[in-house]
């Protein structure tokens, strides 16, 4: 079932509900996921994502709650890159760097939305065309993102894009998850996993040094589920650089499934993630301040965790990372599936 509620400024709020009661709420502005209700071990449906109490707060949304990110997710060093012998200057919006598509990235645009309902699935097809030169990027980029909710409590995001010129592209979604339900607890008691043997080293400005480090023997070894609070309390230079938590890119191990996951022992909620992206940025909301009015409570450090499946923009300046250049003869097609169950 799909419900549609028109709002001010041509914003529309969509609700997609399956027969189990699982409910996804999305704004056409920024493709923002404002709520995702999932059952716990007792069948209680609760919101498991961070969202603002007042929808108008999404106009700024400096933390990118629930938003689609593009053209390039992550930080581009010095807001520039060279492609085919030409240097492109992008808009800087984090010091001298370009973050998450810049100040007018995909999180700030109105998407065209089509709804669909089938036997086992329902969802939204969001479309946007990024003009040549928008944000400083070359080429006209046509993007379609499909949000699908299934009857077996899976939420899939399919990203598709084509371009008329070579251009960097890696898209993601910036939802902050907290499986306690209703933000009753921080993520410190929740357990996370990432199927990865390598992660990126960052400098003081959270820019990749180009060096890959081994996860094994470090707090970044998440190849099996680990309690996040134990990681936060571990002294490690890379954790301290990121504000006492994780804000790093992990390269997925080949042929491992699932690619990532989150588990809340108290509620029994388990989320597993599969993706054909080469890796993800794991962000444990280390920089979240206490002043934001969220739907259920005030914001706080470690209140949510982002699984930003993507390639990595460090490939624009360093070798050894998956390429993010999309060519005119190619179609960008990446999918990430979040599966919800009880453990």
CATH label of the domain that carries residue 66: 2.70.98.10
Q: Which two tokens stand for residue 19?
A: 């027969």
**Minimal CA–CA distance to 90: which of 173, 167, 147?**
167
| 314 touches 72 (CB < 8 A) | no
pLDDT digits (tens, 9 = 90+) for 241-267: 999 999 999 999 999 999 999 999 999
Q: Take residue 3 and report the two structure tokens written for it.
A: 């419900």
Q: Report which DSSP code applies to 97.
A: B
Query: Could you give the CA distance from residue 211 to residue 209 in angstroms, rounded to a whole number?
Result: 5
CA quadruple 20, 188, 158, 109: dihedral sign: positive
Neighbours of 226 (CB within 10 A): 16
What's the confidence (pLDDT) of residue 40?
Answer: 97
Q: Which residues of the chain have pLDDT under 50?
A: none
Q: Please give the tally of structural domains in the chain.
A: 1
pTM above 0.95?
yes
d(CA 105, CA 102): 5
> Tens digits of per-residue pLDDT, 151-163?
999 999 999 999 9
pLDDT tens profile 208-229: 999 999 999 999 999 999 999 9
Tokens 């592209």 locate to 169
Q: How far apart are CA 207 and CA 77, in angstroms?
A: 7
Instruction: Please tell me what DSSP assigns to residue 50.
Output: -
The pLDDT assigned to 220 comes to 98
Cα 68 to chain centroid, rounded:
7
Residues in the chain: 343
Per-residue pLDDT at 266:
97
Give the DSSP letter of residue 245. Answer: S
- pLDDT for res 320: 87
226 is written with which tokens? 């680990």
Q: List active site positions.
A: 174, 308
pLDDT at 11: 98
| Dist. CA 169–CA 101, nearest whole Å | 10
3-state secondary structure 276-318: CCCEEEEECCCCCCCCCEECCCECCCCCCEEEEEECCHHHHCC
User: Shortest CA distance to 145 belongs to which of 122, 163, 161?
Assistant: 161
Identify the domain containing residue 40 by its residue range: 2-342
Helices (H), 134-273: 228-232, 237-241
What is the predicted pLDDT for the residue at 289? 86
Query: Quick one: the chain helix, strand, coil %, rounded to 5?
Result: 10, 45, 45
pLDDT of res. 62: 94
SS3 319: coil
Nearest Cα to 210, choosing from 319, 75, 94, 308? 319
- Identify the pLDDT of residue 175: 98
């Amino acid at each position: 079932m799909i419900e549609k509620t028109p709002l001010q400024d041509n914003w529309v709020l969509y609700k997609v509900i399956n027969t189990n009661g699982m409910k996804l709420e999305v704004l056409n502005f920024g493709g923002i996921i404002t709520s995702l209700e999932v059952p716990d071990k007792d069948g209680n449906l609760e919101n498991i994502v961070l969202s603002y109490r007042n929808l108008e707060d999404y106009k700024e949304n400096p933390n990118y709650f629930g938003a689609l990110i593009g053209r390039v997710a992550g930080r581009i060093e010095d807001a520039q890159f060279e492609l085919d012998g030409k240097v492109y200057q992008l808009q800087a919006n984090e010091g001298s760097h370009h973050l998450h598509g810049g100040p007018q990235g995909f999180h700030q645009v109105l998407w065209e939305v089509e709804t669909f309902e089938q036997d086992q699935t329902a969802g939204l097809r969001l479309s946007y065309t990024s003009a040549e030169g928008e944000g400083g990027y070359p080429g006209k980029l046509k993007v379609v993102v499909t949000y699908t909710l299934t009857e077996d409590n899976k939420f899939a995001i399919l990203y598709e894009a084509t371009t008329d010129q070579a251009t960097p592209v890696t898209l993601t979604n910036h939802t902050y998850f907290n499986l306690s339900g209703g933000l009753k607890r921080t993520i410190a008691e929740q357990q996370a996993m990432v199927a990865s043997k390598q992660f990126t080293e960052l400098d003081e400005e959270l820019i990749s040094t180009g060096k890959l480090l081994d996860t094994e023997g470090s707090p970044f070894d998440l190849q099996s589920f680990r309690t996040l609070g134990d990681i936060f309390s571990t002294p490690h230079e890379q954790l301290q650089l990121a504000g006492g938590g994780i804000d790093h890119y992990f390269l997925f191990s080949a042929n491992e499934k699932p690619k990532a996951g989150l588990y809340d022992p108290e509620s029994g909620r388990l989320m597993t993630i599969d993706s054909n992206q080469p890796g993800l940025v794991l962000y444990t909301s280390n920089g979240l301040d206490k002043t934001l009015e969220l739907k259920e409570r005030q914001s706080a450090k470690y209140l949510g965790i982002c699984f930003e499946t993507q390639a990595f923009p460090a490939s624009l300046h360093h070798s050894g990372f998956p390429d993010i250049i999309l060519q005119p003869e190619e179609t960008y097609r990446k999918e990430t599936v979040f599966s919800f169950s009880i453990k």
